[in-house]
Chains A and B, each alone.
Chain A
Amino acid sequence: MSDWKLMVRQLVKNPLSLAGIIIIVIFAFIAIFAPLIAPTPEGHRDPYMIPRDGYSATPRPPSEEHIFGTTEGQYDIFYGVIWGTRSAFHVGLVVIGIVLVTGIVLGSLAGYFGGLVDEIIMRITDIFLAFPPLILAMAIVAAMGPSLKSVMIALTVVSWPSYARLIRGDILQVREEDYIEASRGIGASNFRVIIRHALPNAIYPTLVMASLDIGAIVLAAAALSFLGLGAPEGYADWGQLTSFARNWIVGSSTNPLKYWFAVTIPGLFILFFVMGWNLLGDAFRDILDPRLARR
């Protein structure tokens, strides 16, 4: 595992990836301690539903009671962005988890067995990859009815094919190695060969890249939520909080930037969250691509 140590050392040495790590750790901290940072008011049933302070449409500026102000419908922005961090991790982790399992199973079947199995699985991925991803996701969400669950299913459906292909390619590379041949020779079952010998030697880079895709998935989910195809109204979700501000981009005639807090704050959380993963991803790409690292 000295590879690991070397990689971690490289990541910490590089200021950009170090910044990425710090950002992600801060967000993880916010998500874990959300109930302490933004306590749910007494008698409020679902902590993921943002408490509202009245029903007036006009956002109110930051005050002692609402430190980030309230957005359209008097939803507390601070509470929304803090608990929204949990929603973001939830969507990102669940989607990437299911995508990886599906991708690994189908990809290694296709790569290892080849022939007809490979042909069928690859033609199925062709069909899914024939759509621009967001369009397919939109169609799926619209068909299943807008909800956070639909968004997660839709993002899983559009993401698994590329992973299946990646892993298939990696398995193809190791399939002809001597150690695979050897373990087959001593009578190991196909299942055992895939699990114990082929996969561990093939999926390591894919796994790393996949975990960094969480940023992109959260961004896509936020976009769907912004379009009104995601979480139910009032759910702590960054994309939706941003969409609440759509009617308030222009303030009053004396103060055109009057509602800046409603417009900027939720988006900043999305930006930093995604940027954390991308900063880390950029460094990983350099480390994993030896052709570029040498220069």
Chain B
Amino acid sequence: MKPAVALAVVLALATTSASQAQDAAGGISSVEISAEGQQVYVEVCQACHMADARGGGGAGLGIPALAGNPNMADKDLIIGVLVNGRGGMPWFTDMLSADQIAAVLTYVRSDFNAYGDPVTAAEVQSAISKAGSTAEG
């Protein structure tokens, strides 16, 4: 796949809404997320799935491992998880662009698993168009 060279970084505008209901710090955030797949993983995904992508146990089953995960074979499934969320994991369409989602899925599939074919932004965009949900907060 052609690496995303454009520095299309997302300016994560956190909690500026006047109708903001949940507790938050207040003000704006200038935290930017990389366009590059491995770096997106470090900056976002490993908060839960851990640096080694092995997840970990908790009160229920815990956080699933992404490394060596057979679900990674199914591109539609894992695109759907990032676009729609799944269980305790939220959707990431309001934090990551289609390019960033494609980049990080490609990275997780190839570097923590053995699937070499890339996830494309077009595939992600198609799933986003189908979902079309908006966050409440």
Tell me, yes or no, whether A binds B. Answer: no
